């Protein structure tokens, strides 16, 4: 009888030890997966790099300039000497179209480019955003300044990035912001002065440009390859064009928007 009790006691103790061991093993925290290393930065070979240049034109009857009522803010009236016009479609001599955003939309997949150290500046001056259209790289610093004697408000209405909305008074220090994801284009407005608008193109590479007053643009230091070049305009829409860049080639890519 005693022998039987000893055997039963041994089995009970053994079972408890095994049960405890299994329980402790199950309770151990799982090891977090190792973080993936950042992809290496792609370095362009300057000996083979090419470029794209072109002119953006508007063809047809140019829409009449639309006057803007600035009367709600005397400082804005003074800044424009009482007259201001909408700048959605800026057409110069020979149909040159300004403020079109041109960028490489395909052909750079798998390449990781360094973030520029220098900041891009948006100035609120003369009750206007300067520049009206601009491009930045992902995580590049954007400095927002107010050069006016009145309070402004900058409100990027992002869809992919985090939207934000901040006021900036006269003499306030610059604001520093970043966009963490590609997004073309982000509309920007001032909630205080409803005529103030701008657009920001955010890309994960440096191959973009904004057409100047004479309609010209240049995208330099581009690796040889075949690309899709896309143009965006706030009122006239988008166009695509495929282009192949040979080593050291400066290739032309012109765009034309036709008015109604």
pTM: 0.84
Domain boundaries in the chain? Answer: 50-258
Q: What pLDDT is recorded for position 79?
A: 87
Strands (E), the chain: 50-59, 101-106, 120-124, 129-130, 133-137, 142-146, 152-156, 166-168, 175-177, 183-189, 197-203, 208-210, 216-222, 225-233, 237-245, 250-252, 255-258
Q: What pLDDT is recorded for position 72?
A: 85
Q: What pLDDT is recorded for position 35?
A: 61
Q: What pLDDT is recorded for position 18?
A: 44
Q: What is the DSSP letter of 167?
A: E
Q: What pLDDT is recorded for position 170?
A: 93
Q: pLDDT tens digits, the chain, 260 residues: what are they? A: 444 444 544 444 444 444 444 444 445 555 555 566 767 888 899 999 999 999 999 999 998 889 999 888 898 998 888 788 998 999 999 999 999 999 999 999 999 999 999 999 999 999 999 999 999 999 999 999 999 999 999 999 999 999 899 999 999 999 999 999 999 999 999 999 999 999 999 999 999 999 999 999 999 999 999 999 999 999 999 999 999 999 999 999 999 999 86
**Is residue 183 within 8 Å of 159, Cβ to Cβ?**
yes
**Domain 50-258: which topology?**
Immunoglobulin-like (2.60.40)
Q: What pLDDT is recorded for position 33?
A: 59
DSSP string, 180-238: -S-EEEEEEE-SSSTT-EEEEEEESSS-EEE--TTSEEEEEEEPSEEEEEEEEETTTEE
CA angle 220, 198, 63 (to 5 degrees): 95
**Is residue 90 within 8 Å of 97, Cβ to Cβ?**
yes
Backbone angles phi, psi at 78, to 5 degrees: -65, -40
Distances in Å between the Cα of 137 and the Cα atoms of 152, 183, 211, 213 are 25, 10, 18, 23
């Amino acid at each position: 009888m005693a022998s039987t009790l000893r055997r039963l006691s041994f089995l009970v103790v053994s079972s408890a030890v095994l049960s405890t061991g299994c329980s402790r093993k199950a309770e151990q925290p799982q090891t977090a997966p190792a973080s993936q290393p950042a992809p290496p930065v792609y370095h362009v070979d300057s000996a083979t790099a090419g470029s794209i240049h072109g002119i953006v034109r508007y063809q047809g009857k140019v829409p009449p300039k639309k006057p803007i009522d600035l009367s709600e803010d005397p400082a804005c009236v003074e800044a424009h000497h009482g007259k201001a016009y909408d700048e959605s479609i800026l057409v110069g001599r020979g149909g040159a179209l300004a403020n079109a955003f041109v960028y490489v939309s395909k052909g750079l997949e798998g390449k990781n480019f360094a973030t520029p150290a220098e900041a891009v500046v948006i100035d609120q001056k003369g009750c206007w955003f300067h520049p009206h259209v601009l491009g930045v790289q992902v995580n590049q610093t954007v400095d927002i300044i107010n050069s006016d004697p009145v309070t402004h408000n900058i409100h990027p209405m992002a869809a992919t990035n985090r939207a934000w909305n901040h006021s900036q008074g006269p003499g306030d220090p610059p604001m520093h912001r970043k966009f963490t994801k590609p997004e073309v284009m982000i509309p920007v407005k001032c909630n205080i002065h409803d005529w103030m608008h701008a657009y920001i193109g955010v890309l994960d590479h440096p191959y973009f440009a904004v057409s100047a007053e004479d309609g010209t643009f240049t995208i330099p230091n581009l690796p040889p390859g075949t690309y899709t070049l896309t143009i965006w305009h706030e009122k006239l829409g988008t166009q695509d064009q495929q282009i192949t860049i040979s080593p050291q080639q400066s290739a032309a890519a012109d765009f034309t928007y036709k008015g109604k």
